[in-house]
Amino acid sequence: MKTVRNLLVFIAILAWTAAVAVAQGVAPLTPGPHDMLATAGPQADHIGRLWNLFLTVCTAVFIAVFAAFLYSIWRPRRADARTPADLSSLDRHERGPYRSVVFGVVLSTVLLLGLVFASVWTDRALARMPLVDAVNLRITGNQWWWDIEYDAVPSSDSFRTANEIHVPVGRPVLVTLRSDDVIHSLWVPNLAGKKDLIPGRTALMQFRADKPGLSRGQCAEFCGFQHAFMGFEVIADPPDVYEAWAARQRQEAPSPTDPQLRRGQQVFLGSTCVMCHAIQGTDANARKGPDLTHVAGRTTLASGVLPNNAEDLKRWIQNPQKIKPGTNMPSSTLPDADLNALVAYLESLK
């Protein structure tokens, strides 16, 4: 009776474990822009295949070990008061169990070596992605936003943006990673694995997007209070759309002619904004915060925290500490008319 009861308890535990696994598996089955199984390029494909191999082997081993465990508690007869235990096997050399142990050790070694080999092969495949005609990016991690520089020859074709990366479909991207404060980690699961940004060192990573679309990126190394709100977007565009976007980014901000926008520009240049931000085509060229030359062309504000529209931009300028406590951006004390003009000017910078 006890054996049957124990067996039922273990089957209940197994069923519970399986139910939890299925429940957790339901959400990632819907492919999204932040999903290592919804791959959009060769680097993520390599990692996805390695993941599938590990999952298959580990699931098979788990099932085999659990089946052997259930068999072992079900098989032997138990001793009780009337039938004493048969201990004669302790004096015999039993071949069956001995063979099972040797088989288990050999099989485990072969499987583990196979997984090591697959990991090394994947690593080499990741490093061997061809880089002909690559787009060169320099990304700097900051608490808590991403500074993105497109390096080009001639250097007048280089430009700077923040928290939103556009790449051409089918062309490799070579990224040089740096950090100015603490360790961050760049992670776009649909496109590539993680890579750390370590102060005082530079790291390289390469990826390629093979289909157009949006991938969401996230800082993947705890870097302070707002680590969870250090997101960014990678938008893979068809080559002509990308070229048009890059050409727009290279342009300086136009001088506003509308009186309201002109006032907004004067507010920007006359306030503390210029201590941290740059707008190409004006005297503002500080690099402490995001480049705002084309801020209105981006989809989000504050590293993915807010949608980019006039109302949220105004809320952000008024009291960034309320929206993202700990951020380096100070609150504004501008009168309402100046604030409205400033927001109108920034929202005109497409």
Q: What is the distance between the alpha carbons of residues 2 and 335, in angstroms, rounded to a whole number? A: 79
- Cβ of residue 250: shortest distance to ligand CUA, in angstroms? 28
* Least distance (Å) between residue 249 CB and ligand CUA: 24
* Among 147, 164, 221, 237, interactor with ligand CUA by CB under 6 A: 221
The answer to the question of residue 177 lying near ligand CUA (CB under 6 A) is: no
Q: Does 184 bind ligand CUA (CB under 6 A)?
A: yes
Beta bridge partners of 168: 237
Taking contact as CB under 6 A, which single stretch among the options 102-110, 113-121, 221-229, 236-244 is the one that binds ligand CUA?
221-229
**Residues contacting 46, CB < 8 A, separation 6+:** 122, 125, 126
CA distance 230 to 302: 8
Task: Kindly tell me which residue out of 178, 227, 298, 315 binds ligand CUA, with binding defined by CB under 6 A.
Answer: 227
Q: Are strands 300-301 and 306-307 parallel, antiparallel or unpaired?
A: antiparallel
CB of 350 within 8 A of CB of 294?
yes
Positions in 122-141 near ligand CUA (CB under 6 A): 141
- Residues of span 200-219 touching ligand CUA by CB under 6 A: 219
Could you say which residues in the range 237-296 bind ligand CUA, by CB under 6 A? none
User: Would you count residue 223 as binding ligand CUA (CB under 6 A)?
Assistant: yes
Which residues does 299 contact at the CB level (< 8 Å), separation at least 6?
164, 233, 307, 308
How many angstroms separate the CA atoms of 141 and 132, rounded?
26
Q: Is 195 in the site for ligand CUA (CB under 6 A)?
A: no
Q: Could you give the C-alpha distances from 240 to 53, 122, 126, 233, 246, in angstroms and in order?
A: 38, 32, 27, 20, 10
For the bound state, the minimum distance from the C-beta of residue 328 to ligand CUA, rounded and expressed in Å, comes to: 13
Q: Is 324 one of the binding residues for ligand CUA (CB under 6 A)?
A: no
Tell me which residues touch ligand CUA (CB under 6 A): 141, 144, 184, 219, 221-223, 227, 230
